[in-house]
Amino acid sequence: MAVVSLLVSAAFGLLFLIDAVRFRKQINRYVIYGAACGLILVGIDTAILLVLPDGVVNVTLLVVALHDLVAFVKTALFTCMGMYCCSILGLQAFPAFTPGRQSDDGCATLGRQCLLIMAATVALAAVYSVVLFRLAMPRVSELLRFVSEAHELGNGPSAMAALVLLEAAFGEEIMFRLGIQNYLARQFKLRGDRYWIAILLTAAFWSIAHASMLDPEWVKIAQVAPLGLALGFLFRRYGTVACIIVHGAFNIIMMFLSSGLLIG
């Protein structure tokens, strides 16, 4: 599953790069958004390095700089292309930053109704995860254990674990909900009522990308697939920021809950 996830990510990255060259004039207006999102991701990554227990161990400044450069370019690319696709589909990628405006599909700014829906989504996803984990009793996968040890995350909640999870939420929402979901919708002309097909496909890709985190793998897919669908519909209505907040809040809640739910 991990290999499949990497191949899918690489394939979409290549497609986005090709389209970015083809439509470079059209996406120029979104470069500032792409740069801002890229800088946010690099900022979170820098914060993670600063809170490492023993400082930066066995990592040279050049490696850090290259990693941050790749992360910046990838995030900026997916942001610009995602926003370009949204413009064609009549959606707003960041409606929270355009008060009073509304897209053809009814996308609104973050208001009271949106906050209630976001809170309900997080709560339902957390409760569902607890029930699922109690019934299935999954174990931590070797891959997740390796990643935790490599990042020195430990077994319980910590500031660094929270930053890693927030970075994952931010990067994944830019990549999947803003980027891939709207690329698929544009490519296959999934406008209006057919947009749900793009949501379904993106949720499937996103779920597969998480499969290797638990043993058995189906438990992780079963856990995140409903949330992926909810995030997809949340994006259509409220944009990227709402998805990042919900995803980040869910990750943080599960950070506190997982130690008592997972074996190993």
- pLDDT tens for residues 195-220? 999 999 999 999 999 988 899 999 99
Question: Which pLDDT tens digit goes with each residue over 110-151?
Answer: 678 889 999 999 999 999 999 999 999 999 888 777 766 655
Distance between CA atoms of residues 102 and 47, nearest Å: 35
Q: Phi/psi class of residue 106: alpha, beta or left (left: φ > 0; alpha: ψ in -120 to 50)?
A: left
pLDDT(58) > 80: no
Any idea what the Cα angle at residue 230 is, between residues 226 and 234, rounded to 5°?
A: 170
Question: Which pLDDT tens digit goes with each residue over 71-111?
Answer: 999 999 999 999 999 999 999 999 866 544 444 444 455 67
Q: Are 16 and 83 in contact (CB under 8 A)?
A: no
Residue 158 is predicted with a pLDDT of 84
Return the exposure string of 203-228: e unless at least 16 CB atoms fall within 10 Å of the residue's CB, then b: bebbbbbbbbbbbebebbbbbbbbbb
**What is the torsional sign of CA 65, 68, 70, 73?**
negative
Distance between CA atoms of residues 182 and 235, nearest Å: 10
Residue 56 is predicted with a pLDDT of 47
